[in-house]
Structure 1
């Protein structure tokens, strides 16, 4: 049961981030957008792993990596 909550929460976060970005409420170069994507991808990757959905795990691991690289770049720019 908890694994489904994790997966659906991750999916919701990614969709919410995209909706907020598309409506101009978030900036793609902002920390909130990137954190929402990283957390969402983590939730979906955990759910995919639990269900043996390795293509989903792979996709979300890459998605998470992109978000983490973006966050690292944002941190460097602020320093």
Structure 2
């Protein structure tokens, strides 16, 4: 189990690093779904690893980090879904 948790932690680290490098090099936008997915999933994987290791300050930070990412993804998805307004005529 320890090896599995270690792999989860390193995978999370690589995802967050990929997001950071992508934004820092201009290859992706901080508001893009790709950036948010990399950060949200990476942080979630960090939560598992830091919980296993009893690193609670890091765990709390990554819970917040992943919630911000998933909320942003929800907002991005809502903008893409057309809303029906019966009073609006095109």
- TM bucket, shorter chain: over 0.9
Q: Which runs of 5+ in 2 are unaligned?
A: 82-90
Q: Which runs of 5+ in 1 are unaligned?
A: none
TM-score, structure 2 length as denominator? Answer: 0.84
Q: Which residue of 1 aligns with 2:9?
A: 7
Q: 2:71 aligns with which of 69, 72, 75?
A: 69
Q: Does 1:46 align with 2:48?
A: yes
TM-score, structure 1 length as denominator? Answer: 0.95
Number of aligned residue pairs: give it.
Answer: 79
Which of 1 and 2 has higher RCO (CA within 8 Å, sep 6+)?
1
Larger Rg: 2
Q: How far apart in 2 are the matches of 1:29 and 1:14? A: 15
Q: Which stretches of structure 1, 4 residues or more, deviate above 4 A after TM superposition?
A: none
Higher relative helix content: 1
Q: 2:36 aligns with which of 22, 34, 37?
A: 34
RMSD: 0.7
Q: How far apart in 2 are the matches of 1:68 and 1:44? A: 15
